[in-house]
């Protein structure tokens, strides 16, 4: 471990982790991410496994301690937990997810891949991204929050996103972090590292100008409604009529739009409770005006005891979508029966929903199919590729009211923007209290509603066709590359092999 960190590594790790989080929305200092990782990688070099683990854990606590502080608001303000329990749950979340950077440090040291500077410039980024893939896709249904690629949406590295997706772009970002470390560690090769960094940025900037998808028809007029009913008021019986009247009135005011979108569970009732007197009459109105209304509400089948978080299209093109990727501890309880016992003892009431089928027919508007996601589903790139070849646009219905006036709605919009850029499609994102937004195929926000205000966004968007390279190949090639390189590096670092050494690189 570098000498100047010997006595101050705990403070260093926490501060570096917090620095890393400042690269994401709403702070938006994207170049802090590779800088913070370069400092972390530097501290791991030639460090024993336990010390590398603890440094990584400090980094993780600093990063998630700032980055998911909104867990407290969700659990305390809207989940019903008292202050002590809310703090404990938030701390547990931070301590749990903070383990993953620690694992990256431990694996690099345990496999001896942090011993050689030459190996570590490749090994540390590869290990980091393998651990990030496990965190983002495999553990507790996946949690891809604060992954480095999302901070790069407004930098030249965004050009790699429609080609390689979030994990591929993350690998490039972490390799740049290692390259930045090399600039200061290898004076003899300093210009080589600088040239590689500048070439990577230049190629990314060039790729940003490429149009991967094309128009598939005339622009359609769309309206997105944001009713601004906070989570603690939304399900109160006395507010149901007021909520439905607001959305109905603002829908009727925009019958000139071909598509009108309501946010997640904008209707605070099960379908069976409102279908006859509200849903069906509204659907007939939409058909008369040649418009499609996209609404969201829970549906249940009492006969088989199933509940779904669902989206329904009303009007000429009617259909259903059932949420596929559920939110752990929000819509289902993993690690049963332990998690259920703990949360019940804390008097926190959570949903118990079923997941919809992975492959569902795409819903349509004006004859154009669109890919639907509900809330947390927009955090997963692979989920956004299912039937993407048929989809002309993306629609996401979200409820970020659970997190109040925190950094979470800004982070969530950043994740959603990634899906538009990965697929080369417009994204229409309607939320209950914000941030409702229209995002173009380059991942740039065209219009954005303010937080905690009733609002309507109206614009014309172009249905698109064609596939980006990432939409064709997905994440599997990058995952295969990461695994292959990891094992090759282990072979090169094995001191028992006489003919292949770290100097072979």
Strand partners, 451: none
Distant-in-sequence, close-in-space partners of 91: CB < 8 Å, separation ≥ 6: none
Contact 293, 282 (CB under 8 A): yes
- Strands 220-226 and 455-461, how do they pair? antiparallel
Q: What is the pTM of this model?
A: 0.92
Q: Supply the pLDDT for residue 2.
A: 54
Q: Assign 364 to helix, strand or coil.
A: strand
**Is 331 an active-site residue?**
no
Contact 251, 293 (CB under 8 A): yes
Contact 426, 441 (CB under 8 A): yes
Closest residue by Cα to residue 377 from 405, 406, 353:
353
**Is 375 an active-site residue?**
yes
Q: Supply the pLDDT for residue 438.
A: 98
Contact 354, 308 (CB under 8 A): yes
User: Environment class of residue 233 by beta-carbon count within 10 Å: exposed (0-12), middle (13-18) or buried (19+)?
Assistant: middle
Strand partners, 370: 363, 393
User: Rounded to 5 degrees, what angle do the CA atoms 485, 491, 496 make?
Assistant: 165
Look at the alpha carbons of 486, 489, 491, 495 in this order and tell me if their dihedral is positive or negative.
negative
> Of these residues, 93, 208, 258, 264, which one is catalytic?
264
| Cα 7 versus chain centre, distance | 36
Q: φ and ψ at 295, to 5 degrees?
A: -125, 160
* Residue 115, token pair as written in the block: 């011993």
Mean pLDDT, each 10-residue run in order, the chain (505 residues):
61 94 97 96 93 96 96 87 91 96 97 86 97 95 95 97 98 97 89 94 97 95 93 82 94 97 93 94 96 94 85 92 85 59 50 84 93 94 93 96 92 97 98 95 97 96 97 97 96 61 40
> Of these residues, 234, 322, 375, 442, which one is catalytic?
375
Element (H, E) at 437: strand 437-439
Neighbours of 397 (CB within 10 A): 30
Q: Supply the pLDDT for residue 1.
A: 53
Query: Helix H segments across 186-309?
Result: 190-208, 231-234, 237-252, 271-274, 280-288
> Of these residues, 234, 322, 323, 442, which one is catalytic?
323
How far is the C-alpha of 20 from the C-alpha of 33, rounded, in Å? 5
- Map tokens 């390259």 to a residue: 179
Strand partners, 437: 429, 448
How far is the C-alpha of 47 from the C-alpha of 375, rounded, in Å? 41
Contact 428, 224 (CB under 8 A): yes
Cα torsion through 89, 94, 95, 96, rounded to 10? 90
Neighbours of 153 (CB within 10 A): 23
Q: Supply the pLDDT for residue 115.
A: 85
List where CATH 3.60.110.10 sits in the chain.
214-324+363-472
Contact 37, 148 (CB under 8 A): yes
Contact 117, 186 (CB under 8 A): yes
Strand partners, 368: 365
Closest residue by Cα to residue 505 from 107, 197, 186:
186
User: Environment class of residue 139 by beta-carbon count within 10 Å: exposed (0-12), middle (13-18) or buried (19+)?
Assistant: middle
- At how many degrees (to 10) do helices 161-185 and 476-493 cross? 30
Q: Supply the pLDDT for residue 434.
A: 84
User: Rounded to 5 degrees, what angle do the CA atoms 238, 242, 245 make?
Assistant: 145
Alpha-carbon separation of residue 266 from 233, 311, 343 (angstroms)? 12, 10, 26
- Can you spell out the DSSP letters for 220-239? EEEEEEE----HHHHT-HHH
Query: Helix H segments across 68-160?
Result: 71-73, 83-97, 99-110, 117-133
**Is 323 an active-site residue?**
yes
Q: Supply the pLDDT for residue 504.
A: 38
Look at the alpha carbons of 409, 269, 320, 309 in this order and tell me if their dihedral is positive or negative.
positive
Class of domain 214-324+363-472: alpha beta
Whether the ω angle into residue 274 lies within 30 degrees of 0, i.e. cis, is no
């Amino acid at each position: 471990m570098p000498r100047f960190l010997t006595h101050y590594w705990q403070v260093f790790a926490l501060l570096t982790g917090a620095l890393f989080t400042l690269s994401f929305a709403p702070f938006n200092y994207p170049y802090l991410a590779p800088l913070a990782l370069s400092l972390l990688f530097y501290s791991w070099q030639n460090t024993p496994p336990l010390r590398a683990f603890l440094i990584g854990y400090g980094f993780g606590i600093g990063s998630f301690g700032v980055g998911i502080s909104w867990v407290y608001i969700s659990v305390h303000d809207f989940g019903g937990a008292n202050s002590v329990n809310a703090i404990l749950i938030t701390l547990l979340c931070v301590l749990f997810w903070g383990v993953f950077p620690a694992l990256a440090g431990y694996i690099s040291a345990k496999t001896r891949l942090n011993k050689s500077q030459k190996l570590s410039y490749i090994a540390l980024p590869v290990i980091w991204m393998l651990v990030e893939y496990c965190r983002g896709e495999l553990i507790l249904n996946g949690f891809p929050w604060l992954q480095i690629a999302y901070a790069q949406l407004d930098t030249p590295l965004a050009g790699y996103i429609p080609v390689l997706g979030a994990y591929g772009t993350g690998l490039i970002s972490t390799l740049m972090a290692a390259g930045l470390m090399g600039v200061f560690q290898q004076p003899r090769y300093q210009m080589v590292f600088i040239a590689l960094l500048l070439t990577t940025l230049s190629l990314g900037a060039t790729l940003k100008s490429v149009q991967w998808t094309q128009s598939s028809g005339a622009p359609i007029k769309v309206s997105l409604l944001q009713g601004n009913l906070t989570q603690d008021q939304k399900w109160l019986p006395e507010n149901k009529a007021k909520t439905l009247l607001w959305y109905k009135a603002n829908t009727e005011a925009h019958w000139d739009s071909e598509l009108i979108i309501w946010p997640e569970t904008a209707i605070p009732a099960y379908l069976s409770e409102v279908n006859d007197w509200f849903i069906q009459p509204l659907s007939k109105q939409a058909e008369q005006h040649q418009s499609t209304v996209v609404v969201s509400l829970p549906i249940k089948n009492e006969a088989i005891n199933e509940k779904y978080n669902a989206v329904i299209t009303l009007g000429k093109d009617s259909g259903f979508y059932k949420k596929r990727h559920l939110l752990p501890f929000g819509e289902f309880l993993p690690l049963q029966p332990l998690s259920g016992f703990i949360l019940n003892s804390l008097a926190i009431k959570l949903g118990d929903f079923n997941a919809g089928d992975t492959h569902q027919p795409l819903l349509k508007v004006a004859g154009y199919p669109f890919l639907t996601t509900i809330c947390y589903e927009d955090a997963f790139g692979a989920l956004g590729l299912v039937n993407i070849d048929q989809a002309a646009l993306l629609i996401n219905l979200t409820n970020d009211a659970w997190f109040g006036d925190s950094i979470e709605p800004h982070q969530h919009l950043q994740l959603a923007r990634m899906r538009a850029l990965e697929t080369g499609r417009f994204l229409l994102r309607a939320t209950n209290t914000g941030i409702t937004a229209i995002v173009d195929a380059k991942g740039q926000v065209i219009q954005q509603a303010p937080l905690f205000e009733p609002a309507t966004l109206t614009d014309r968007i172009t249905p698109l066709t064609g596939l980006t390279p990432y939409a064709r190949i997905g994440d599997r090639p990058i995952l295969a590359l990461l695994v292959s390189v990891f094992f090759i590096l282990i072979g090169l670092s094995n001191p028992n092999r006489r003919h292949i050494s770290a100097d072979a690189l």
